[in-house]
Structure 1
Amino acid sequence: MSRQVKISPPQFLILTFVVFIILGTMLLKMPISSNQPISWLDSLFTITSAMTVTGLVVVDTGTAYSYVGQVIIMIWIQIGGLGIMSFAILFFMFLGKKIGFRERVLIQQSLNQTTIGGVIRLVRSLFAFSLIIEGIAVIFLSIRWVPELGWGKGLYYSLFHAVSAFNNAGFGLWPDNLMKYVGDPIVNLTISGLLILGGLGFTVMADVWRKRTFSKLSLHSKLMIVGTIVLNIVAMVIILLLEMNNAKTLGSLPWSDKLWAAYFQGVSPRTAGFNTIDVTQINDSTAFFTIILMFIGAGSASTGGGIKLTTFLIIVLAVFTYLKGKEEITTFKRSIDNKLVFKSLAIAMISILFVILAVFILSITEKAPFVKIVYEVVSAFGTVGLSMGLTFDLTWIGKIVLIFIMFLGKLGPLTLAFSLARRDSSKIRYPKEDILAG
């Protein structure tokens, strides 16, 4: 009598991701999908980048892939951004199937929710909100691109970039991404608006839609909204100051374009991957600051990656609480459970270890400056997609390492850890003893 293999929700999510990545790779390898010969490894890299909504590419998306290939990439971006399990639940609902407890747990895991209550309602809201926002964005982008490219190509480019931006993927159809629109208000505001909304997370958007008043929002929503606004403003100012005199980036632009470029590049590193300036020419100080932004990432239950903004804020609040000599972490007249501090520290530490390991391997296999290697690895982990030019020249080992890092960044380090580790159910307690620290 055969034993039934039990798969935990994290393991099932990882398995589903792998299956979809393999399927997407096979579709991209079809002759009709590309305009030039593309290897299996490059196809795997591209579809992994799309599925994890990263945006790093080893071949130019707009020229190497046909319209069929580009549409496949766009579909996989949408699936990766909104979540495989969300699409599966929607399919079951259309068929009139009952959504059981196991399916609700899987949705909870994939959308990083704390409880299973209301997850089906969240999925419905997620799809409706996504379609509405992407549809509005297509209209605004069409105002700019239809007169320039014609109806067919203009609408197609508007749709592709709207899907890519809202899902924080960063895939573009121009070789220089959005550099030609560095001072264009419509493109800057539409794309950055999509990036910010997608990066806030579906939980925050649903909370704002239901409650409408800031004081009534959940603590998570308040932290995400305030943290996003503050971080974007700080990032814009710092990038403007660092790159103002760099003739290869902001230095040669008129003042209005300088402000637009600094604003856009302040928003983009938090998992988006679009660029309106030549990222390969930025100063090392700007690259290091961008690395910090990419590592922090967007919000939980969002289309972005990184350790997540709330994780970063919890650690910062914990440090300030310790320095003040307090025992309880409080913010917005609410206290934060110490379990969240442990979780945040675990996420940050596991992420740092994986990033260090990847940087170490690439420093051996790739002939590139160290800052470029760190930049590329953190961009992959944060599912950002910004590149200083190294990705196009990666060795096969480097490509495999970044594929794994993109996969890790999308699913989350704790999801991978929980899928491999056995939970300790022991009730044994040992006596406490102090050790020297600091």
Structure 2
Amino acid sequence: MLQFAGKSKKFKPTPPQVLTFGFIIIIFVGTILLASGPANTGDPMSYVDALFMATSAACVTGLTTINVGIDLTHFGQVVLLLLVQIGGLGFTTMASLIAIVLRRRISFRERLILQEAMNQSTLEGIVPLIKKVIYYSLVIEGCGALLFSARFLAEMPVGQALYFGLFHSVSIFNNAGFDLFGMFPDRASSLIHYVEDPLINIVSMLLIILGGLGFIVISDLITYRINRKLTLHSKVVLTASAVLIVVGTIVILIFEYTNPNTMGPLDFLHKLSSAMLQSVSSRSAGVSTLDTGSLRQATQFMIVLLMFVGAAPGSTGGGIKVTTLAVLVGAIYTMARGRQDVVMFRNRLDQDRIHKAITLTLLSFFLIVIATMVLSATESAPFLSILFEVTSAFATTGMSAGLSGHLTTFGKLFIVLLMFVGRLGPVTLAFALTSTPEKEKFRHPEGRITIG
């Protein structure tokens, strides 16, 4: 079609804008459904609470202002679970699945959007990766559902056990952390009732770790037997994740070992398993076998640090990502040694990666600081509880020190914004809100300032 001079150009959203608008539409639809009568056991929840829950589910956070097991009907719970699944895999992945089933060709522009959604640096192999994402997710969630259901059969009817198994497998693998155990009046929320159950603990940790490693790493691990090779990305993710799990477990075990409200009554093995699950879950999942509100302040602050780091890129988790932390540590080590290049596993990192890691970390840090200051002025709660809730929302972890249910309307809407920004990422959102940058036509002269 011919375009005449003076005519306005047709608006073509950039990939970051497509992702942003897509999540907004999903959250809007989820809000309408969750606020409807069929989704609630009693009076329909307010639109503010429905928006909070829809955002928490679509952004795979897990924070909640209601009791999911009591206040939502089966229809409402299924809506919540579908939002978790779409949010965990990404709506672009789900749209690609439909296109693949209908045998429709995925265009170059759609591949660019998928590249942005999966946080990939190139378009190479993006469609095969999407197919692997869908396949691996269904297989892992299916195995988790079967194992959970087998355990729940000992205390529930067959239908309920299967339903609980599927719900919690999808919720935990996608690092959302919603649970239905609040429907039992004699039990606490999350997995506290199963603190001494080895099957629930092990399966939960495996689901969280697999969901948090990212599909690129899972694919690398599966094909390792054939090619005997891991990418640099997989090596960094696996190493950084292992270090964080071990360090987190040791610190939490030390601080909570004698706490009578958490680990005190447990034997050593159960203390160790609960500390490990808490360490694994703190980086994005949000489930726990310990009462988060009863943890000592030192432990809560350690969890804040773990939440801030989060999971791996291309995973269902949030945070600044373990690779970002690894790059920052590598840059500090390089500068301390007086060297120029950041080297990991005999590979030199591009300066662009280092600049992006620093930018992302500082943007995230400043956002959390500002949000904590704002909510400290509007909410009646201790500073650490507010910092905990803010970091949990931004990192899409879903762990709560008990503040979510007592937030003001402004506080709820502010947490909704944090969850949304945290799921998209501050850098992606910044690109979505700005026009396409023009290439610089000149460079300024180099200047020097004193650092340190």
What is the deviation of 1:357? 1.5
Who is 2:392 aligned against?
379
Normalised by the length of structure 2, the TM-score is 0.95
- Give the alignment partner of residue 306 of structure 2, picking from 256, 280, 293: 293
Who is 1:47 aligned against?
54
What is the deviation of 1:192? 0.8
- Give the alignment partner of residue 415 of structure 1, picking from 404, 428, 448: 428
Percent identity among equivalent residues?
40
Amino acid in structure 1 at the alignment position of 2:360: I
Q: CA RMSD in A?
A: 1.2
Distance 1:256 1:70 in 2: 34
Who is 1:232 aligned against?
245
2:451 counterpart of 1:437: yes
Secondary structure of the corresponding residue to residue 149 of structure 1: coil
Secondary structure of the corresponding residue to residue 155 of structure 2: helix
Who is 1:101 aligned against?
108
Distance 1:146 1:295 in 2: 37
What is the deviation of 1:260? 1.6
Deviations 1:38-89 (A, max 9, x none): 1100011001000000000001111110111001100110000001000111
Who is 2:67 aligned against?
60
1:13–1:106 contact (8 Å) kept in structure 2? yes
Who is 1:306 aligned against?
319
Who is 1:173 aligned against?
180
Secondary structure of the corresponding residue to residue 223 of structure 1: helix
Deviations 1:393-414 (A, max 9, x none): 0001111111011011111111
Secondary structure of the corresponding residue to residue 11 of structure 2: coil
- Give the alignment partner of residue 295 of structure 2, picking from 282, 285, 296: 282
Who is 1:12 aligned against?
18
What is the deviation of 1:230? 1.5
Distance 1:3 1:409 in 2: 32
2:149 counterpart of 1:142: yes
Query: How many positions carry a matched residue from both structures?
Result: 438
Q: Which runs of 5+ in 1 are unaligned?
A: none
Answer with 68-77 or 202-211: which moved more: 202-211
Distance 2:146 2:12 in 1: 47
1:333-348 mapped onto 2 (5 Å cutoff): 333-348=346-361
Distance 1:237 1:51, change over 3 A: same
Distance 1:214 1:366, change over 3 A: farther
Who is 1:25 aligned against?
31
Secondary structure of the corresponding residue to residue 376 of structure 1: helix
1:57–1:392 contact (8 Å) kept in structure 2? yes
Who is 1:162 aligned against?
169
What is the deviation of 1:213? 7.4
Distance 1:419 1:141, change over 3 A: same
Distance 1:214 1:315, change over 3 A: farther
* Structure 1 stretches of at least 4 aligned residues deviating more than 6 Å after TM superposition: none
What is the deviation of 1:350? 0.8
What is the deviation of 1:2? 5.3
Secondary structure of the corresponding residue to residue 181 of structure 2: coil
Distance 1:46 1:16 in 2: 17
Who is 1:207 aligned against?
220
Deviations 1:83-142 (A, max 9, x none): 100011111111121111000000001111111111110111111111111111111111
2:127 counterpart of 1:120: yes
1:241-280 mapped onto 2 (5 Å cutoff): 241-280=254-293
Distance 2:82 2:144 in 1: 17
Deviations 1:264-316 (A, max 9, x none): 11111010000101100111100110000000000000000000000011011
Answer with 28-37 or 385-394: which moved more: 28-37
Deviations 1:13-38 (A, max 9, x none): 10010001000111111211111231
What is the deviation of 1:216? 1.3
- Give the alignment partner of residue 72 of structure 1, picking from 73, 79, 82: 79
Amino acid in structure 2 at the alignment position of 1:403: V
1:182–1:277 contact (8 Å) kept in structure 2? yes
Distance 1:338 1:293, change over 3 A: same
